[in-house]
Amino acid sequence: MARRVATVCIALLLTAQLGVVHAGGCEQLASRLHLPATTLTLATEVAAGAFRPPRGAPAAPYGSLPTFCRVAGTIRPTSDSDIRFEVWMPSKGWNGKLVGVGNGVWAGNISYREMVGPVLKGYATAASNGGHEGDPLDAGFAAGHPEKLVDFGYRAVHETTRVAKATINAYYDRAARRSLFASCSTGGRQGLMEAYRYPSDYDAISSMAPANPWVPLLVSTLWTGNAALKSEASRIPPAKFALIHKAAVQACDADDGVTDGIISAPLRCHFDPGVLQCKGRDAADCLTAPQLAALRAIYQGPRDPRTGKQIFPGYVPGGEALFPLKTAGPEPLGSSLTYMRALVFKDPKWDFRSFDYDQDVERARQVASSVTDVPASGLDRFFADGRKLLLSHGWADGFIASMSTVEFYTVLVTRLGATRADQALRLFMVPGMGHCSGGDGPFVIDALSALDSWVETGRAPERIIASNPPGALPRTRPLCPYPQEAVYSGHGSTDLEQSFRCSAPGP
């Protein structure tokens, strides 16, 4: 009898260590889990490789997913809320941790693609639709629906996290021992918002290219579109941005001491787009005077014409390949245009050329900044309990100006002080990377593992390896804690991260 009891105890212990379900199974969660303001619509085990995303979802390696318990539902903290969520939990091999992931632009759908990576690593993973269903470039969902704007701004991620933790507890019969949030763009802003409003939701957060502050970013998007689209003469054809990018790389590539097709030191880059001005008539290999003026305005970023104050940072050289996203026309990108038309001016025929970058910026802020923007001065409670924040941004991001994250980080360091900042905060800038991925430089990085290891060991990451994706030229580079840079040692291949050291920036 004693031997049988011991055998059972050992089996239970091993089951717990492996993260194997022993609390009634996945399908029973719908009947056993009762949460406030929450309706479960799905609780089913998905066989390995069998998951199929909804039509229109971005491609991802769904076929490599292990068997997992998929739980979906809707949270309605208000009568006008429609927070749809999903929680994916590995049936075997759970590492005991939760990862939250976010959305892009104005959200409107669940980021299935972003859920795959954490589940493959053994994490339970949660995501939401940001509080509404619809086109991620259309802000019209919030017109006349202030609670939906609040859900998008901060409530959807928090409520999803609350439900995810309870669901995990019910499925595994134990709580997650660590909660992490890792996401990019709007997801990066959502991570910062969690740190700001709900600091106890997550133990550590990875925020890449955060779309923050949100309303000034929308003004920046409008400014970029307006610069190139205010007249036919100022419009820059998409093909010319490739010409501009080539010229920028040629001018600044060697500033870091290595000629490799990557602008690695953009703050030392002194690219003058004037070298591309047409000597005569307009041509495919030059810029007219109005086009050149538009380009200079894009690099400069939005400023108050009366005071000269910067509203949102401008772009450093390197992100030109993404500028067509905001300048393809005939109007500026919908993420900004629909916000102005539906929420700020409440006029579907409002002309973007009429925006007053002195008077109308404050009007735009008053509509949503209080629920969408995260001040760098507001994270004291998050850091007070030893939590960690890992920031990152591609230097060549032509969608969200990379200096916005540098400025946010700089304010945080000043507020925390050097000692506390060294323990709780890191910023890694990624040379050549565009918005969240892509670009001239290696951009495949594992920020989640770096973040988790930091919490586990207490040692902040001093070097993160970036690599090219499969199928591209094999190349790795180290990412260094800002303001350090990767400096070639003078020995070995410049395609290998071992040939570089992290050092203070050059003159």
φ, ψ at 369 (rounded to 5°): -55, -35
Bridge partner residues of 392 (DSSP)? 208, 428
Start-to-end CA distance of the chain, whole Å, equals 76
Token duo for residue 24: 């009634």
Q: How far apart are CA 17 and CA 305, in angstroms?
A: 62
Q: How far apart are CA 69 and CA 90, in angstroms?
A: 6
Q: How far apart are CA 430 and CA 415, in angstroms?
A: 24
Q: Which residues contact 200 (CB under 8 A, 6 or more apart)?
A: 385
Tokens 């970029």, residue? 224
Q: How far apart are CA 413 and CA 401, in angstroms?
A: 20
Query: Using an 8 Å Cβ cutoff, are 273 and 252 in contact?
Result: no
435 among known catalytic residues: yes
> Counting every residue, how long is the chain?
507
Q: Which of 264, 435, 452, 499 is catalytic?
A: 435
Query: Using an 8 Å Cβ cutoff, are 67 and 47 in contact?
Result: yes
185 among known catalytic residues: yes
Q: How far apart are CA 66 and CA 486, in angstroms?
A: 37
- Cis preceding linkage at 483, omega within 30: yes
Query: Using an 8 Å Cβ cutoff, are 477 and 500 in contact?
Result: yes
Query: Using an 8 Å Cβ cutoff, are 241 and 235 in contact?
Result: no
270 among known catalytic residues: no
Q: Which of 82, 253, 397, 440 is catalytic?
A: 397
DSSP code at position 461:
P
List Cα–Cα distances, 211 to 3, 37, 255, 505, in angstroms.
59, 29, 28, 26
Query: Using an 8 Å Cβ cutoff, are 319 and 397 in contact?
Result: yes
Class of residue 453 by CB neighbours under 10 A (exposed 0-12, middle 13-18, buried 19+): middle
Q: How far apart are CA 461 and CA 206, in angstroms?
A: 12
Q: How far apart are CA 188 and CA 86, in angstroms?
A: 19
Q: How far apart are CA 460 and CA 424, in angstroms?
A: 8
Q: Shortest CA distance to 16 belongs to which of 134, 177, 146, 221?
A: 177
Q: Which of 185, 234, 335, 402 is catalytic?
A: 185
Query: Which residue type, as a one-letter code, is found at position 374?
Result: V
**Helical spans, DSSP H, in 180-237:** 186-197, 214-229
Q: How far apart are CA 484 and CA 461, in angstroms?
A: 13
CA 198 and chain centroid, separation: 18
Query: Using an 8 Å Cβ cutoff, are 186 and 104 in contact?
Result: yes
- Which residues are catalytically annotated? 185, 397, 435
